[in-house]
Amino acid sequence: MSQPIRPLKSMDRQLPSEEAADLLALTRELVERELAPRAAEEEAEGRFPREAMRLLGRSGLLGLPYPEEYGGGEQPYEVYLQVLEELAAGRLTVGMGVSVHTLACHALATFGSERQKQQWLPELLGGELLGAYCLSEPQSGSDAAALTTRAVREGGDGDDAHYSVTGTKAWITHGGVADFYSTMVRTGGPGPTGISVLLVPADTPGVAADAPERKMGLKGSPTAQVRFEAARVPAERLIGAEGQGFSIALSALDSGRLGIAACAVGVARAALDYAVEYARTRTQFGRPIAEFQGLSFMLADMATAVEAGRALYLSAARRRDAGLAFGKEAAMAKLFCTDAAMRVTTDAVQVLGGYGYTADHPVERYMREAKVLQILEGTNQIQRVVIGRKLTGG
Ligand SMILES: Cc1cc2nc3c(=O)[nH]c(=O)nc-3n(C[C@H](O)[C@H](O)[C@H](O)COP(=O)(O)OP(=O)(O)OC[C@H]3O[C@@H](n4cnc5c(N)ncnc54)[C@H](O)[C@@H]3O)c2cc1C
């Protein structure tokens, strides 16, 4: 028994401007027309929706939080995140894809020189190009500062100045389909202070992606190792100063974690809506199962988790928009929203009973997708490490 997803109540939100309401309405329309109808089939087949990403780019949705003068949408983070939630509710691969692209643009947009921003940012934000963020390596995941991909500066200080980059990046979202890689490399000694950021075009000779990983879920979003073999990257593609790369990477992650939190709420919301509709129409013992208190309490807890998650990511986003410190709150939002998404999607499967365990309904896919959100951009154990350190100053 397959059921339509109930229209989501995205329009009854408190939004800061009419422009924001229009943006959300446009997003909703794109989701309903382009993303949601193809999501189940394309995820099952592991097909990346490159055209849909281009369409989002042309609609101005790939550079929302960045300044207008470089081609961005200059929207507050609280608006950008709600757009992400809408996209992820329609298809996580796309919501996360936009979040990862935004993360990949962060170094240039925030730490690039004026000349670098004018030269490259408009094409990164314009929608034709897609970005990836390359921090993790096979041997350095949670301990990201232990990365070993080496960039050696060669060619003097003139036009020939370049870095020769050698190493392997692991788990790269958009690996093999991205047009540029925002890449953390080691230019100095061990530890965080030896790390720098290079903005590497994907067609640089010596850069190649392996076949995508065979994942439990999120199969439409390619995740691959990216190999650098003496790849020659012009020195002008160094973003910020040598040695500044790890703090740039962490500042990108503070913002990126808010994106993951919003995506998690989107997936949870889609699961909740589906479960509510199912519970209203499925009858057992002569009554809709929604009338059994055991089930309606479950739905009530799921709805509360969705609302609490949204409130938490919005409150962290508003701190960011106001120029306040938000790293601790971003880690809390990522931790809470992704754990909530795991619980809500698991409960949605339970609400559908045996039907929930089949691929005839989307809730088993939501459950598989929610799992990865507890792992990427810092596992939820690492979020607790971040929060604990901020609390105690350790
Ligand atoms: C689908 C997917 C997409 C991804 N996309 C990207 C991407 O685009 N770019 C990118 O750079 N990376 C990406 N990642 C990598 C992701 O960020 C890492 O997988 C994650 O940081 C964990 O690293 P790891 O897998 O090496 O696990 P490990 O670091 O080996 O951790 C293994 C376990 O140990 C725990 N652990 C480790 N250290 C501690 C500690 N100090 N305290 C308590 N527990 C600890 C972890 O929480 C985890 O449970 C992606 C991963 C996945 C699965």
- Copy the structure tokens of residue 173: 């979202």
Domain layout of the chain by residue ranges: 18-126, 131-243, 247-392
Candidate from 376, 386, 387 with most ligand 1 atoms within 8 A of CB, to mutate: 376
Cα–Cα distance, 352 to 232 (Å, whole number): 54
By annotation, the residues acting in catalysis are 377
Q: Are 136 and 170 in contact (CB under 8 A)?
A: yes
Q: Are 185 and 245 in contact (CB under 8 A)?
A: yes
Q: How far is the CA of 171 from the centre of ligand 1 (A)?
A: 9
Q: How far is the CA of 194 from the centre of ligand 1 (A)?
A: 21
Report which residue type is found at 171: W
pLDDT of residue 12: 66
Cα–Cα distance, 363 to 271 (Å, whole number): 6
Enumerate residues lining ligand 1, CB below 6 A. Answer: 100, 132-136, 141-142, 171-173, 215, 218, 223, 372, 375-379, 381-382, 385
Per DSSP, helices labelled H in the chain are 18-30, 36-45, 50-58, 77-90, 92-111, 114-125, 245-281, 293-321, 327-351, 363-373, 380-392
User: What CATH number is given for 18-126 in this structure?
Assistant: 1.10.540.10
Q: How far is the CA of 183 from the centre of ligand 1 (A)?
A: 17
Candidate from 379, 383, 385 with most ligand 1 atoms within 8 A of CB, to mutate: 379
Cα–Cα distance, 121 to 250 (Å, whole number): 20
User: Which residue puts its alpha carbon closest to atom 32 of ligand 1?
Assistant: 142
Candidate from 168, 375, 386 with most ligand 1 atoms within 8 A of CB, to mutate: 375
Q: How far is the CA of 352 from the centre of ligand 1 (A)?
A: 32
Q: Are 123 and 131 in contact (CB under 8 A)?
A: no
Ligand 1, atom nearest to 375 Cα: 20
Ligand 1, atom nearest to 213 Cα: 1
Ligand 1, atom nearest to 184 Cα: 11
pLDDT of residue 225: 98
Q: How far is the CA of 212 from the centre of ligand 1 (A)?
A: 17
Q: What is the pLDDT along the chain (394 residues), one digit of tens a residue?
A: 444 444 444 456 778 889 999 999 999 999 999 999 999 999 999 999 999 999 999 999 999 999 999 999 999 999 999 999 999 999 999 999 999 999 999 999 999 999 999 999 999 998 889 999 999 999 999 999 999 999 999 999 999 999 999 999 999 999 999 999 999 999 999 999 999 999 999 999 999 999 999 999 999 999 999 999 999 999 999 999 999 999 999 999 999 999 999 999 999 999 999 999 999 999 999 999 999 999 999 999 999 999 999 999 999 999 999 999 999 999 999 999 999 999 999 999 999 999 999 999 999 999 999 999 999 999 999 999 999 999 998 7
Q: How far is the CA of 299 from the centre of ligand 1 (A)?
A: 31
Evaluate whether the domain defined by 131-243 bears CATH number 2.30.110.10.
no
* Fold adopted by 247-392: Butyryl-CoA Dehydrogenase, subunit A; domain 3 (1.20.140)
Backbone angles phi, psi at 167, to 5 degrees: 155, 180
Number of other residues whose CB lies within 10 A of the CB of residue 304: 12
pLDDT of residue 11: 52
Q: What is the DSSP letter of 177?
A: T
pTM (whole model) above 0.85: yes
Q: Are 301 and 393 in contact (CB under 8 A)?
A: no
Ligand 1, atom nearest to 218 Cα: 1
Work out whether strand 207-209 and strand 195-201 pair parallel, antiparallel, or are unpaired.
unpaired
